[in-house]
Structure 1
């Protein structure tokens, strides 16, 4: 993990364009991360009990999208100096916050197939410009038996017509990813930033613990990932936000929040429903 305070934007941009991922150790306190875990647990309990509230991403593995005001630390996160520096360096000063959610692999979750989170955008295919980032924050101290996140650095520009749905490399391609594979063991308070095009997978959770991870999705202007998400805020919450946040949070302002029904379901279909 890089030092958060040493020219964070330039260093992160170099690492992301080279490896597809970078990170910042100890960006938040463990107490902040524990509060995040409480909010994740509350949101999951609500989402799992309604249709479309939680998407299966393989057996015993779920994704849930939430609204910003469901996370007490949202403003802390999106105004953190490292996060804003990385967004500006990679996506430009007019970046847009488009997604907030979390993944949870529970005990019994299995290895996912190698994949990227969405098909490669045309701007990346044609010009090798990255127009989105995914920030991840673990809610637990990751241990080997908890099914760590595994990523194949340097694969974010892999572009093959054989990829299923533009996202899933066929099994004959797996040796390329296995020889590059790096497992990540973040701790509470750490933040990572990656191109979601970098080939990765969740691994088998052999423990009796869950491993929740918060996801913040950010696009460059003109990015299309926002079309997959339904972030909204209430008028009172919007009025309470710093101008710095409102400048980058382009979403509907509503009187009453509607629970989000997940749109991005292709991973569940390919990986098998939980």
Structure 2
């Protein structure tokens, strides 16, 4: 089931002059489709992030288009960087920038920040990928986008952990429903090659959102928020699905090197996001 690619053959631009850390990153993302860094942040930092996420969720649920359903008792919310106190810490973390530069190139673009929350009663999602695969990936075996995930709580087996089918990021998916949802007859194959991820506060992962995955049933009484950071290689095009904004004061205070990577409009006043990226096949779950 797992597709292990030969990086030297499929992505020659990634094969030269890699240090050990970069080689581990490339091997993981081009092999399993996911890599992680344990203990990247202190738990106190994560607890502050969790408070920001819960506050942003309450605000989003109070207006139309603020939160979109990703299945029963499961929601996704996009936010502006200023709504999360740890945003700059996250996007400038050395491991995050190393992953982005190694896989997406020096001119990578940060295009999305948001969070997914499966509450008590969330069901198994259908196996899916987050968007159709581009030809650069299924023909040339080149990854053009990444999703970073940061859990804001310690994950346990009954909280609906993330389930990912390893090595599936290079399947074309042209025959999938909406090029995102494989036929139900194929689900046992994906489940057979899958693992459940149980990150703890402070951990961070990076994955190809094209790797087939699903959220699973939350049988606990607790919510399991996960912050999602979306990053593109130049020209990948996912910026068209998002509309991040920053105020001028916030923008002017950003580290200089971050400004060129942040794909966000500079505005006088933030406008709440009405989400454009709705994964239709997950709404009913």
Counterpart pick for 2:234 among 210, 214, 221: 221
Q: Find the counterpart in structure 1 of residue 23 from structure 2.
A: 10
Q: How does 1:176-215 map to 2 (within 5 A)?
A: 176-215=189-228
Q: Find the counterpart in structure 2 of residue 26 from structure 1.
A: 39
Alignment deviations for residues 134-185 of structure 1 (CA, whole Å, 9 cap, x no partner) = 0000000000000000000100011233201010001011121011110000
Deviation at 1:124, TM superposition (A): 1.2
Deviation at 1:271, TM superposition (A): 2.5
Q: Find the counterpart in structure 2 of residue 121 from structure 1.
A: 134
Q: Residues of 1 paired with 2:228 and 2:190: CA distance?
A: 23
Give ranges in structure 2 of 5+ residues lacking alignment.
1-18
TM-score, with length taken from structure 1 = 0.95
Deviation at 1:272, TM superposition (A): 3.2
Q: Work out whether residues 15 and 21 of structure 1, in 8 Å CA contact, stay in contact via their aligned partners in 2.
A: yes
Counterpart pick for 1:240 among 214, 239, 253: 253
Moved more, 97-106 or 246-255: 246-255
Deviation at 1:19, TM superposition (A): 0.8
Deviation at 1:82, TM superposition (A): 0.3
Q: Residues of 2 paired with 1:160 and 1:45: CA distance?
A: 36
Q: How does 1:156-171 map to 2 (within 5 A)?
A: 156-171=169-184
Moved more, 119-128 or 39-48: 119-128
Q: Find the counterpart in structure 2 of residue 38 from structure 1.
A: 51
Deviation at 1:273, TM superposition (A): 4.4
Q: Residues of 2 paired with 1:74 and 1:272: CA distance?
A: 28
Deviation at 1:7, TM superposition (A): 3.6
TM-score, with length taken from structure 2 = 0.92
- SS in structure 2 opposite 1:133? strand
Q: Find the counterpart in structure 2 of residue 230 from structure 1.
A: 243
Give ranges in structure 1 of 5+ residues lacking alignment.
1-5
- SS in structure 1 opposite 2:258? helix
Q: Find the counterpart in structure 2 of residue 3 from structure 1.
A: none
Q: Find the counterpart in structure 2 of residue 62 from structure 1.
A: 75
Q: Residues of 2 paired with 1:234 and 1:160: CA distance?
A: 39
Q: Work out whether residues 156 and 198 of structure 1, in 8 Å CA contact, stay in contact via their aligned partners in 2.
A: yes
